[in-house]
Chains A and B, each alone.
Chain A
Amino acid sequence: MNGRVLLAAERVSKHFGCVVALQGVSFDIREGEIHAICGENGAGKSTLIKLLSGQFKPGSYTGQLRFRGEPIVFRDVRAAEAAGIAVIHQELALVESLSVAENLFLGRLPQRAGRIDWPRMLASARELLERVDVDLDPEIRVADLGMGQKQLVEITRALSRHPRLLILDEPTAALGEEEVETLTEQLGRLRRQGVAAVYISHKLGEILTLADRVTVLRDGSSVRTQEVTELTPDALIEQMVGRQLREVYPPRGEHRVGEVTLCLEGLSARAERPGAPQLRNISLSLRRGEILGIGGLMGAGRTELVSHLYGLWGQRLSGTVTLNGRSYGRPSPRRSLARGMMLVTEDRQRWGLVAGRTVDENLSLSSHEAIANWGWVVRSVEQARNSAVMSKLNLRSNRRLLAARQLSGGNQQKVVVGRGLLSAPDVILLDEPTRGIDVSAKRELYEEVRRLAAEGKAILWVSSELPELMGMSDRIAMMRAGAVAGLFEGPQFDARCLMAAATGQTT
């Protein structure tokens, strides 16, 4: 177990604009060990593995990488691959319509006289699959495989290049229990063959049974690396969340919480696409003037909850959803807006903005009825409304004729929020509203949400950052596997209890 150090990172730091992703992280992987990295969302795990696998250009980060003791600079992903580092991302890179064999050899298909040499390819594929002990027919289409099997194909492909280090980013997030077991066996076998693995996971149970050592990241710094035998689930949770609440959140106002506006009873919904979480029997109520935080790990179903409620994917919901005394079963964005519900999506480029159009047009997009007279846009009305909301959100009015894509992330988010607010909502669904915006923009957003709550809006706030949830929410619902795993009353929250509910550990 105490092999030589294969790859080491020494005091690496990485910034995105003014956001610090990694700060002086030191980290090493020994030959033939399974090294787990854990930490909350946004702790810097993904940034670290990107750095290790050559996805950042040299010079865009500080610190030193060493490969077997020698300083090394990976110019790009290929350089890292050549050194024997293979990454398996959460989003699999397989061509669904091709066979397993073709996927295994994509980019280097065996050929003879300009045509694919099928017999040779199938034979090599079979050999490869046997070597890693995966029982799959190489001629089957990838589309016909389950998630776990696809993952195995991806791993087999990575192993066909004989890597020394395999990096797995949340490989079990979409897998069922049996599939996890197969994967665990595979990793055990690789360890015996001397291949090192870096393993990122939120599932603490898995980490504790599988890994040799664990590194905990927090806010972009490594907290500590330790042998797994020294650890307990409690200790791990403590290290992941145990930080001071450094950001200062605006205080809760004096306003009273009003009557229930949104009420969910036994809400369930099918997965929007294969592999996405489905919602299971969720019962929650939301009152006027209240901020209800929704927490949970990646894939717990937080985004799905707000998206289904708003009808982003237009799916039928089972169970009862009541908004202002009226129940609905098949929402669409249009109907939801008319009922007084708005959503700020997690992915604003995809769902939130028409990037090529002006700020004015984006702001008006959900409320054409209010600014148009028999279909004619009345510019003066539009400008008055937009000016009001822009000054409310502290967005300078000389930006109104710029294309949305020319704004900074924080200002884009303000446009998305402003567009929703102009449709006069009662219920505001916010999905990771502070993602990718800088500290001062975050601060402004916190204050604005507080003001909205004081005005009597009901707010559902999805966040993957525990301190933010704890600082902003009146109540917090933690989700796990598509269901509510625990409902916590404020104003004081215990981070360990929240994390325990999210990970399914009993404390």
Chain B
Amino acid sequence: MISSQRERNFRSGTTPVSGVLVMPFVTVLLWVAFAIWEPQFISPRNLSMLMIELSVTATLAIGMLLVILAGHIDLSAGSGVGLLGGVAAVLVFQSGWPAPLALTAALLVGLGLWCGMAWLVVRWRIQAFIITLGGLLVFKGAFWLVIQSSTVPVVGREGANLYSILTTWYVPPTYGLVTLLVLGACWSLRLWIQWWQRRRADLPVDSGEVVFLRAFTIGQALLLVVLICNAYRGLPLAFLILMALAWLAHVLTQETAFGRNLYAVGGNLSAARACGVPVDRVVLLAFTLMGAVVAVTGFMQTAYAGASTTTVGELMELDAIAACVIGGASLKGGRGTVIGTLLGSLIMATLLNGMTLLAVAPEAKLIVRGSVLVLAVLVDVRMKRDA
């Protein structure tokens, strides 16, 4: 499945070659470098932390991808992460709401805010850059109001709740393995069914060995991930949330009419309109989904930070945009994939985690992250020109 997807994207030019081949290579290189420098980097504990950090970054990046695919941008995401995480924290830990209810309420707030911003964008034809820049400031102000510019700790006095376990709960090792087995079986079955259907429909198919090898390799990689996690405490819950969201977003962009419309609106707005695509509705939906993703990221990031403080979420929108772009998305819209965005996020998260472990100065961290973004885009542009 993934391979045929890639192959199609490759041939249709939707993902640059760099997005498919170069990025895993760069990631491995980074890992090797960090491991040599600081062996602690590949300890199960640090890798588990890295996965949680990746989950937070990548979740937001996937939401950002939807907005970017439509040819827009969301600068308010970072402030939104702080605000929505803060709203939920105040509701749970100050007002004493049950966690599931509070999270749902904050999620709804997110949906409403982003839907409202999108309405301004489509109804009055104002650039999303401006609207979300306004959102960035407004949400930040509202965030500080909500938490009264203080600190709201995310720890249950009466024990753990849904909010506080978001980044601290792990699937117990045995269940992790069982989950992997079940998922792997379902996925292999689907892969095989697809292969069989294509062959029956006389469409070009990969040979059986190739399909098996591919499934085997990916299966091995996943098994490795689970084993590493199990060496610490098990699969992090945040990572499962990310996987579920990524799968949903992948299906949404590749298998639904909305996904087709999203690529069309970003790829050629005039043509999309002339072809009868409900352009405004597509943009509205992309932003609304972004609102939900911002809320989920907000919960995870706040929980990971351990408290809702004024700096939660700061600059996260830029990390998300960078992850999309490194993953091969075009800011003009209409180009980019969920898989690329995951890989882009992995590079960003790896850099941040590794540098923190090496105790690199915060100034240098910022400079390195910025340089990597520019470098990635340069490579992307060069490869496309040479292709």
Can you pick out 22 interface pairs between chain A and chain B where the beta carbons lie within 8 Å of each other? A333-B276, A338-B276, A350-B268, A353-B271, A354-B263, A354-B264, A354-B272, A354-B334, A357-B12, A357-B264, A357-B334, A361-B263, A361-B264, A365-B272, A365-B275, A366-B276, A371-B257, A375-B256, A377-B255, A401-B12, A402-B11, A403-B13
Contact, CB under 8 Å: B271 / A376:
no
Given B13, B14, B257, which contacts A372 in the complex, CB threshold below 8 Å?
A: B257
- Cβ of B335 within 8 Å of any chain A Cβ, yes or no, is yes
- Cβ of B267 within 8 Å of any chain A Cβ, yes or no, is yes
CA of A30 to CA of B264, assembled, Å: 53
User: Would A354 and B11 be within 8 Å (CB), given that A364-B260, A368-B257 are in contact?
Assistant: no
- Cβ of A464 within 8 Å of any chain B Cβ, yes or no, is no
- Cβ of B274 within 8 Å of any chain A Cβ, yes or no, is yes
Name the A residues within 8 Å of B277 (CB-CB).
334, 365
The interface bits of chain A over 333-364 (1 if a CB of B lies within 8 angstroms of the residue's CB, else 0) are 11011100001010000111111111001001
Name the A residues within 8 Å of B96 (CB-CB).
none
Name the B residues within 8 Å of A380 (CB-CB).
201
Q: With CB as the reference atom, state the residue of chain B lying closest to A347.
A: B270
User: Would A357 and B274 be within 8 Å (CB), given that A401-B12, A403-B12, A403-B13 are in contact?
Assistant: no
- Cβ of B116 within 8 Å of any chain A Cβ, yes or no, is no
The interface bits of chain B over 248-262 (1 if a CB of A lies within 8 angstroms of the residue's CB, else 0) are 000000011111110
Contact, CB under 8 Å: A351 / B11:
no
CA of A423 to CA of B260, assembled, Å: 16
Given B270, B275, B335, which contacts A419 in the complex, CB threshold below 8 Å?
A: B275
Name the B residues within 8 Å of A134 (CB-CB).
none
Contact, CB under 8 Å: B270 / A351:
yes
CA of A372 to CA of B255, assembled, Å: 9
A residues adjacent to B (C-beta < 8 A): 312, 333-334, 336-338, 343, 345, 350-358, 361, 364-366, 368-369, 371-372, 375-377, 380, 383, 401-403, 405, 419, 423
Contact, CB under 8 Å: B274 / A354:
no
Contact, CB under 8 Å: B268 / A402:
no
Name the A residues within 8 Å of B256 (CB-CB).
372, 375-377
Q: How far is the CB of B35 from chain A (nearest CB, A)?
A: 38
Told that A350-B268, A354-B268, A356-B263 touch, could you supply 9 new A-B pairs with CB distance under 8 A? A337-B276, A343-B274, A352-B271, A358-B8, A365-B272, A368-B261, A371-B257, A377-B260, A383-B201
Q: How far is the CB of A144 from chain B (nearest CB, A)?
A: 24
CA of A364 to CA of B14, assembled, Å: 18
Contact, CB under 8 Å: B263 / A357:
yes
Name the B residues within 8 Å of A336 (CB-CB).
276
Contact, CB under 8 Å: A334 / B276:
yes
Given A356, A368, A375, A376, which contacts B13 in the complex, CB threshold below 8 Å?
A: A356
- Cβ of B273 within 8 Å of any chain A Cβ, yes or no, is yes
- Cβ of B362 within 8 Å of any chain A Cβ, yes or no, is no
Name the A residues within 8 Å of B335 (CB-CB).
356
Most chain B beta carbons < 10 A, residue from A312, A343, A354, A358: A354
User: Would A358 and B12 be within 8 Å (CB), given that A364-B260, A372-B256 are in contact?
Assistant: yes
Contact, CB under 8 Å: B12 / A377:
no
CA of A137 to CA of B274, assembled, Å: 42
Contact, CB under 8 Å: B271 / A402:
no
CB neighbors of A among B12-31 (8 A): 12-14
Q: With CB as the reference atom, state the residue of chain B lying closest to A372.
A: B257
- Cβ of B112 within 8 Å of any chain A Cβ, yes or no, is no
- Cβ of B98 within 8 Å of any chain A Cβ, yes or no, is no
Name the B residues within 8 Å of A337 (CB-CB).
276
Name the A residues within 8 Å of B14 (CB-CB).
356-357, 403
Q: How far is the CB of B18 from chain A (nearest CB, A)?
A: 16
User: Would A375 and B258 be within 8 Å (CB), given that A354-B268, A356-B267 are in contact?
Assistant: yes
Contact, CB under 8 Å: B275 / A366:
yes
CA of A474 to CA of B257, assembled, Å: 39
Name the B residues within 8 Å of A372 (CB-CB).
256-257
- Cβ of B278 within 8 Å of any chain A Cβ, yes or no, is yes
Name the A residues within 8 Å of B259 (CB-CB).
377
Name the B residues within 8 Å of A361 (CB-CB).
260, 263-264
User: Would A350 and B276 be within 8 Å (CB), given that A357-B12, A357-B264, A365-B260 are in contact?
Assistant: no
Most chain B beta carbons < 10 A, residue from A312, A403, A423: A403
Contact, CB under 8 Å: B273 / A377:
no
CA of A343 to CA of B275, assembled, Å: 9
Name the B residues within 8 Å of A338 (CB-CB).
276
Name the B residues within 8 Å of A353 (CB-CB).
268, 271
Most chain A beta carbons < 10 A, residue from B12, B255, B277: B12
CA of A280 to CA of B258, assembled, Å: 39
The interface bits of chain B over 268-299 (1 if a CB of A lies within 8 angstroms of the residue's CB, else 0) are 10111111111000000000000000000000
User: Would A356 and B278 be within 8 Å (CB), given that A361-B260, A368-B261, A377-B255 are in contact?
Assistant: no
Name the B residues within 8 Å of A355 (CB-CB).
267-268
User: Would A356 and B12 be within 8 Å (CB), given that A364-B260, A365-B260, A380-B201 are in contact?
Assistant: yes
Contact, CB under 8 Å: A401 / B257:
no
Q: With CB as the reference atom, state the residue of chain A lying closest to B194.
A: A379
Name the B residues within 8 Å of A351 (CB-CB).
270-271, 274
Q: With CB as the reference atom, state the residue of chain B lying closest to A369.
A: B257
CB neighbors of A among B282-335 (8 A): 334-335
Contact, CB under 8 Å: A356 / B276:
no
User: Would A333 and B11 be within 8 Å (CB), given that A377-B257, A380-B201 are in contact?
Assistant: no
Q: With CB as the reference atom, state the residue of chain A lying closest to B4.
A: A401
Q: How far is the CB of A305 from chain B (nearest CB, A)?
A: 16
Q: With CB as the reference atom, state the residue of chain B lying closest to A420.
A: B275
CB neighbors of A among B187-217 (8 A): 201
Contact, CB under 8 Å: B267 / A357:
yes
Name the B residues within 8 Å of A350 (CB-CB).
268, 270-271
Q: How far is the CB of B90 from chain A (nearest CB, A)?
A: 36
CA of A78 to CA of B8, assembled, Å: 44
Q: With CB as the reference atom, state the residue of chain B lying closest to A384.
A: B201
Name the B residues within 8 Å of A375 (CB-CB).
256-258
CA of A369 to CA of B12, assembled, Å: 24
CA of A361 to CA of B259, assembled, Å: 10
Name the A residues within 8 Å of B268 (CB-CB).
350, 353-355
CA of A206 to CA of B152, assembled, Å: 81
Q: How far is the CB of A415 from chain B (nearest CB, A)?
A: 11
Q: With CB as the reference atom, state the residue of chain A lying closest to B333.
A: A356
Q: How far is the CB of A20 from chain B (nearest CB, A)?
A: 30
Q: With CB as the reference atom, state the residue of chain B lying closest to A338.
A: B276
CA of A361 to CA of B277, assembled, Å: 12
CA of A228 to CA of B204, assembled, Å: 66
Contact, CB under 8 Å: B267 / A354:
yes
Contact, CB under 8 Å: B264 / A401:
no
Q: With CB as the reference atom, state the residue of chain A lying closest to B330.
A: A356
CA of A354 to CA of B14, assembled, Å: 12
CA of A46 to CA of B276, assembled, Å: 34
Name the A residues within 8 Å of B260 (CB-CB).
361, 364-365, 368, 377
